[in-house]
Chains A and B, each alone.
Chain A
């Protein structure tokens, strides 16, 4: 009898605490409302342009860049890789389906069997491994080319991350959400400090972009990364950028495609649901 009472009580507590956590749908609504109130002059799909939407100089530089996009040759390399058969005669199409424009919108997705978030880049490398090919390096180069090609082919479609009503999927989502809001590193900063609370302000010489719409143009082509590479390849994946921002917090960056970053991506991409894909795009 006592046991049952305790059980009921704890069930009640669990139900209560479950109720206290807002659903992803509610989070999304608040997230969007916040930015739309903060930047009342900008339409939802303008916000995805980050600092290029907020500052005239950046906008002009960006528009000039987009006339002769520096990423085009790397998107073409991605296309070639997509079409090139593996040694076993199969190709990416055998993993992802024949239509390259239908791939980007399916990721990140929840893998119910293995209870994990699968990002587009993870799926690309798992496809290679399954076909006896060496996986690509995670943050730049061929993986970013293929991902950029798939993003390019999906331009105009809307981000559509599905978070199933499965406790494990919700746990991964909550983990990513917590990572986004928690202060970390010696400087004690959170992603939200810079990209939510103070979006639109300047930190030293840098304008801070709103997190809403962040993911629409990834992999991104950065001038800074292009300058660092030998052949002007400025493409980098979302997880490469996560590492750079963790470093700014003076926190130790996590490995690209680690559970932490995949969960973060699950939350981060979900917050841009309904926004139009525009990958890849130029940033400074």
Chain B
């Protein structure tokens, strides 16, 4: 009886350990992908900021969304999936902000009429 219990526990422990290390391998891959994405996102944000085109919710401290800091926080908590999703939003907004600034290069007074 006792032997059997021990065996079961041992087997369970073994399985868990094995599963755990497989997961660790998976998550280190995720982490690497995340870090690459983060660097890319940050570069895009700097590019938008360099032409005064950064949008409100990317990283401004009083924004309720703060997509970039939220992505970093999610990754810290181990939720890389969420982090990657948020980084995609950061990248989209940064690219659009840059494009917008380029499109507005010649902005000036128009004949508004009334």
**Bound form: Cα–Cα A197–B113 in Å:** 8
Quote the shortest CB–CB distance from B98 to chain A (angstroms).
11
Report the separation of the CA atoms of residues A249 and B57 in the bound assembly, to the nearest whole angstrom. 11
Q: B101: CB under 8 A from chain A?
A: yes
Whether the pair A252, B55 counts as a contact (CB closer than 8 A) is yes
Q: Is the CB of B56 within 8 A of A251?
A: yes
Q: CB-CB contacts of A182-210 with B at 8 A, as 1s and 0s?
A: 11111010101000110000000000000
B28 within 8 A of A: no
- Which applies to chain B's interface (DSSP): helix, strand, loop or mixed? loop
Q: Are B112 and A186 in contact, CB atoms less than 8 angstroms apart?
A: no
Contact A192 B109, CB 8 Å, known A182-B101, A184-B100: yes
Contacts of B72-114 to chain A: CB distance below 8 A:
93, 96-97, 100-101, 104, 107-110, 112, 114
Q: Is the CB of B100 within 8 A of A250?
A: no
Q: Are B93 and A186 in contact (CB under 8 A)?
A: yes
> When A188-B100, A252-B60 are in contact, do A178 and B54 touch as well, CB less than 8 Å?
no
Q: B-facing mask of A158-188, CB < 8 A → 1, else 0?
A: 0000000000000000000111011111101
B44 CB-CB contact with A under 8 Å: no
B107→A181 contact, CB < 8 A? yes
Q: Which A236-280 residues have a C-beta within 8 angstroms of B?
A: 246-247, 249-254, 260
Contact, CB under 8 Å: A30 / B109:
yes
- B52 in the interface, Cβ–Cβ < 8 Å? yes
Contact yes or no, B104 A183, CB < 8 A:
yes
A252 touches B58 (CB 8 A): yes
Q: A34-B112, A183-B100 are in contact. Are A190 and B107 (CB under 8 A)?
A: yes
Could you say which of B56, B60, B109 contacts A186, with CB atoms under 8 Å apart? Answer: B56
A126 within 8 A of B: no
A177 to B108: give the CA distance in the assembly, Å: 7
Determine whether the beta carbon of B107 is less than 8 Å from that of A250.
Answer: no
Instruction: Please indicate the chain B residues that have their CB under 8 angstroms from the CB of A178 in the complex.
Output: 107-108
A178 to B109, CA, bound (A): 9
User: Can you report 23 residue pairs joining A to B where beta carbons are below 8 Å apart?
Assistant: A27-B109, A30-B109, A31-B109, A178-B107, A181-B108, A183-B100, A183-B104, A184-B101, A184-B104, A185-B56, A186-B57, A186-B93, A197-B110, A247-B62, A250-B57, A251-B55, A251-B56, A252-B49, A252-B56, A252-B58, A252-B60, A254-B52, A260-B52
Residues of B within 8 A of A (CB): 49, 52-60, 62-63, 93, 96-97, 100-101, 104, 107-110, 112, 114
